[in-house]
Structure formats: C-alpha cells, structure tokens
Chains A and B, each alone.
Chain A
Amino acid sequence: DAGVIQSPRHEVTEMGQEVTLRCKPISGHNSLFWYRQTMMRGLELLIYFNNNVPIDDSGMPEDRFSAKMPNASFSTLKIQPSEPRDSAVYFCASTQGGSGGYNEQFFGPGTRLTVL
C-alpha cells in the first residue's frame, strides 16, 4: 500500500492567495483527519471526516479554512485568503473505524506551507 498521499509537499505563496492542499487516504479507511503543526501550538486537529461526512470541525480556525471530502479516496483543505500566520505543516491522516477505538491513525508526509 502506498500509504497516505499528500500533495504538494511544499507550497510557498503570497498573502491573500488561495491555497489548496490535497490528500488521498489509504484504501479501505473510512475516517480522515486534517492536522496542523506549528512550533507554537504543536499538533492541532482541524477537522475529522467519517464516511466522507464532516463529524467535527471545531478545530478549523476561521471561515478562511474549508475542507471537503467528495469521495472516499480524496480530500482537500482550502485556505482563502491565506495569511502569514497560516504557515505550518499540514498533515492528513486516515484510519479504519471512527476517531476513537483501537485503530491507529496513519499519517501522510505532510505539506509544508509558507505564506509570505
């Protein structure tokens, strides 16, 4: 299995531009998570999907952030407009089952976003 795939691996953009991060979960996994990692705040859960439906988006910072999962094999996280404080590494993770339980989460390699 190829594992969780994220693209792009690196993104440099200017303030005000739209940014779209992409994720392909492991085949057969029905839960998907988006995390953000910064030195200041550590690892933060942004949103969690189960069976393509957003279950918990309480971690999404503000209306500039949106996430979609149109099918079981693809998800996007969009930031519009982007700001310098959005600079971080964004991780996608997937698992079988729900957010709780005994199944481990499998992480992608992350997208390093820099907003100038």
Chain B
Amino acid sequence: AQSVTQLDSQVPVFEEAPVELRCNYSSSVSVYLFWYVQYPNQGLQLLLKYLSGSTLVKGINGFEAEFNKSQTSFHLRKPSVHISDTAEYFCAVSERDGQNFVFGPGTRLSVLP
C-alpha cells in the first residue's frame, strides 16, 4: 500500500515571497500524483496532477509541482504568493492499476501581509 508524507504541517510566508510545500510518497507500484487545495470552509479541489510525460506540472493559480521519481517526491511551488493562497494543501497518490487513493495529512499555508 502507498503512503504520503507532508513534512510541514504549517508554513507561514510573507506575501509575494516564494513558497515550496513538500510531499514525499512511498509505493511499490507506479502511481499518479495530485495536489488538492482546501480554502477555508470549503471542500477540496484539484490544483494539479501528474499522470505521465514532463515531470514539471503546471496547475491553477500559478502553482506548479515537479515529480522526482528517484526521490519519490512531488513538491509544490509558487514563485510569489498572495493573501488569497492561504489554505490547506493536500498531496495525494493513486495507484495506476490499483484501487487505492491516499491523501497526505495536509500543510496549512498562511500568507502574511
């Protein structure tokens, strides 16, 4: 079975600064990778996903993530954050041929003015 680790439970950052949210996974099979965002008092919504091809994936709101197979990582980045990016971010992994979809524990991003 696969698992997802998000090492940082909370990340405070000033507005217009860059940010990286870390995600590492473990799996014995090939996987697909996802980042979801949850704004306050809302459900989760997809930010981006890696299926195949280029390891750099671009998502909504200026976010991007890079898949690194050797390090089993899928870190999320944004070069300049806005107050409106304040939210909780969840990394998730799905087995390509399986029946498991696992979410990480989440990272709470707080953008400070």
Please report A residues at the B interface, Cβ cutoff 8 Å. Answer: 4, 42-43, 45, 55-56, 91, 93, 98-102, 104-105, 107-110
Contacts and interface: CB of A to CB of B under 8 A. Distances in A.
A88 to B, nearest CB: 14
Interface string B84-113: 000000100011111111010110000000
Contact of B103 (A4, A43, A55, A109): A43
Contact of B99 (A98, A102, A107): A98
Main secondary structure of the interface of A (DSSP, over half): loop
Interface in B27-66: 32, 34, 42-46, 49, 51
Size range of the chain B interface in the assembly: 20 to 34
Contact of A42 (B94, B96, B97, B105): B105
Nearest to B50: A102
A40 B46 CA distance: 23
A43 B94 contact: no
Contact of A43 (B51, B97, B98, B106): B106
B93 to A, nearest CB: 10
A102 B43 contact: no
Nearest to B52: A102
B88 to A, nearest CB: 9
Given A91-B43, A91-B44, A105 B101 contact: yes
A26 to B, nearest CB: 13
